[in-house]
Amino acid sequence: MMHMEAGQRVGVDECAPRSISPRLLELGLADFRDPRGSNMVARCEPFREWVDAASEAGLFQFLRHHDGAPDRVSEVVGWGGQRYVGINFASQDYLGLARHPAVLSAAEAALRRFGAHSAGSEPMGGGLAFAKALEREIADYVGHAHAVLFPTGWSAGFGTLQGIVRPYDAVVLDALAHNCLQLGAKSATDAVHHFAHNDMDSLRKRLHRLRDASPDQAILVVTESLFSMDSDSPAFDRLVSECREVGASLLVDVAHDLGVLGEQGRGLLWESGCHKDVDFIMGSFSKSFASIGGFLATREKGTSYYVRGFSGAYTFSNYLIPPQIAAIRAALGVARSDDGEALRRDALSRATWLREALESRGIRVLGRPSSLVIPFVGPEPVARVAYRSCLENGVILNNIEYPACRRGEARFRMQVTPLHVQDEIETAANVVSAAIKDARLHYSGFAKARARGA
Ligand SMILES: Cc1ncc(COP(=O)(O)O)c(C=O)c1O
């Protein structure tokens, strides 16, 4: 990669018109979700037009990619072709292990020894004996006895629900639970219900209504230990007691805190002491563990066997590949070591600096301290313009809008690593707070007019 400085913008002038068509701010992904018409090909075209126009204006927050490694300072290319160089807060490398020597050498050795490919799915003989150690290690880390590996975290969530829930069962999800959980539930049963985000009274009401109506129905409650769009968590004690009271099973997705929060990085669920009462703990290796992949950990062998027997995502998808397994094992080893302890301390201190720096500049930051720092923005038009401004001024982050959060509650997601330094955090706080304030000044009127239907 060429020498870069954050804030350097390459080739943006010729492709980013400064005047903004209202259509680019008014419409969002959700407006294109249900196109009508019998021609399935033609009805995609308005979406393409909108994506291309928003991308050319630098306002489309998706499909940006890295040109080079996703480092602390990275060069990225927007879908519209703009190049930006910035301090990177959009990499899910929570412990900064992506280039850790132990991870690199383990992945390289596995690549040389076993090749780049897995032979097939695990049930079809594609498993690798050396991954059995990873199963034991990850199960032990989260406090359960058994684990099943999946090629991605998404397939672990989807595959567990689809594998374990039958059409006559009910699933009750936190309204903001991850897409893999929502779709997994939908694929398994029509009896999919929601409770208000992290609201245990709402969960209780929902569970009792279901139990009163169907005394024998199996119910699975599904939530996350740390929500990545809000950096908040459910009250684990209450979650467990509500499930117990009606005889419901419980699944918790620990993707965003495992490795980085709690004693030895074992996560918030472990820290709460409630992990033993959770039937299904699933997570991802793409956040703290410098790779990609997912797992399901269970207390009982029976549930792990059942998922192995009946999950399409597990049975009909090739097994994890050797360098992936080796990288995950090495990253898990670091996470459990004294080095891991130091990395966690650094990760949290930097996240706290960034939170405080933003708050001291008048920006509301959502949730609790974690690797995820979530400055609240509000109306989508404001967020889109502020997002563009952040990129142009050398800060790479993600803009989160409906349907990933509620309408009118757009926010930025900044993922902090132990490798970020104080100067970068100060710069980021300046750029982000100025971008949000400036966009509010110029686009709040637009947002209000939109809310009135003007
Ligand atoms: C809560 C949650 N679960 C599962 C996943 C899927 O994990 P992966 O990206 O490793 O497939 C994600 C990814 O963003 C997530 O946020």
* Across 162-191, average pLDDT: 98
Alpha carbon of 363 to those of 374, 376, 430: distances in Å?
10, 7, 11
Domains and CATH numbers, the chain: 9-38+53-88+341-451 (3.90.1150.10), 101-335 (3.40.640.10)
Residue 57 scores a pLDDT above 50: yes
Q: Which of 340, 372, 375 is nearest to 357 (CA)?
A: 375
| Nearest ligand 1 atom, CA 284 | 10
What's the confidence (pLDDT) of residue 6? 61
Query: How many other CB atoms sit within 10 Å of the CB of residue 21?
Result: 12
**CA neighbor of 404 nearest in space, from 394, 416, 412:** 412
pLDDT of residue 89: 98
Q: Which residue lies with its CA nearest to atom 9 of ligand 1?
A: 153
pLDDT of residue 11: 36
- pLDDT over 80 (residue 454): no
pLDDT tens readout for residues 408-434: 999 999 999 999 999 999 999 999 999
Q: How much distance in Å is there from the Cα of 297 to the middle of ligand 1?
A: 16
Q: Is the confidence at residue 75, as pLDDT, over 50?
A: yes
The more confident residue out of 145 and 9 is 145
| Half-sphere exposure of residue 323: CA atoms within 13 angstroms, side-chain side | 13
Q: For residue 444, what pLDDT band results from cuts at 50, 70 and 90?
A: confident
Average pLDDT over residues 17-42: 87
What was the pLDDT predicted at 150?
Answer: 98
pLDDT for 274: 97
| Ligand 1, atom nearest to 155 Cα | 11
Question: How remote is the CA of residue 255 from the centroid of ligand 1, in Å?
Answer: 6
Q: For position 23, what pLDDT does the model report?
A: 86
- What is the average pLDDT value for the chain, to the nearest integer? 94
Cα 287 to averaged position of ligand 1 atoms, centre (Å): 8
Residue 286, ligand 1, Cβ within 6 A: yes
**372 Cα–ligand 1 center, Å:** 14
- Looking from the CA of residue 227, the nearest atom of ligand 1 is 1
pLDDT tens readout for residues 279-299: 999 999 999 999 999 999 999
At 433, give phi and psi (nearest 5°).
Answer: -65, -40
Q: How remote is the CA of residue 268 from the centroid of ligand 1, in Å? A: 17
Q: Is the pLDDT of residue 66 over 60?
A: yes
Tell me, what amino acid is at 349? Answer: S
Kindly state the average pLDDT of the residues 231-260. 98
Average pLDDT over residues 355-364: 98
Q: How deeply is 49 buried, as exposed, middle or buried, from its count of CB atoms within 10 A (0-12, 13-18, 19+)?
A: exposed
Q: Is the pLDDT of residue 9 over 70?
A: no
Whether residue 284 has its Cβ less than 6 Å from ligand 1: yes
| Dist. CA 239 → ligand 1 center (Å) | 22
352 alpha carbon – ligand 1 mean position (Å): 23
Q: From the CB of 432, is ligand 1 less than 6 Å away?
A: no
Query: Is 233 touching ligand 1 by the criterion CB < 6 Å?
Result: no
Entry pTM: 0.94
Ligand 1 probe mutation, 155, 174, 178, 179, most atoms within 8 A of CB: 178
Q: Is the pLDDT of residue 91 over 90?
A: yes
Of ligand 1's listed atoms, the one at least distance from the Cα of 294 is: 10
In the chain, what is the straight-line distance between the N-terminal and C-terminal CA atoms, in Å? 47
Q: What is the pLDDT of residues 132-167, one digit of tens each?
A: 999 999 999 999 999 999 999 999 999 999 999 999
* Residue to mutate (ligand 1; options 251, 258, 286; most atoms within 8 A of CB): 286
Protein residue closest via CA to atom 10 of ligand 1: 153
Structure tokens at 369: 């301290």
Expressed in angstroms and rounded, the spacing between residue 90 Cα and the centre of ligand 1 is: 14
Q: Using pLDDT thresholds of 50, 70 and 90, give the confidence band for residue 1.
A: very low
Please identify, by atom number, the ligand 1 atom nearest to the C-alpha of residue 287.
10
Please report the pLDDT score of residue 51 as a whole number. Answer: 96
Q: Is the CB of 118 under 6 A from ligand 1?
A: no
Give the pLDDT mean for 182-204: 98
Rounded to whole angstroms, the Cα distance separating 255 from 270 reads 13
3-state secondary structure of 388: helix
State percent of the chain over pLDDT 90.
90
Distance 109 CA to ligand 1 centre (A): 27
Ligand 1 atom nearest 224 alpha carbon: 1
Q: Is 415 in the pocket of ligand 1 (CB under 6 A)?
A: no
Tell me which of 308-322, 333-347, 431-445 is least confident.
Answer: 431-445
Asked if pLDDT for residue 14 goes beyond 50, the answer is no
Averaged pLDDT for residues 11-34:
72
Residue 56 has pLDDT above 70, yes or no: yes
Residue 383: pLDDT over 70:
yes
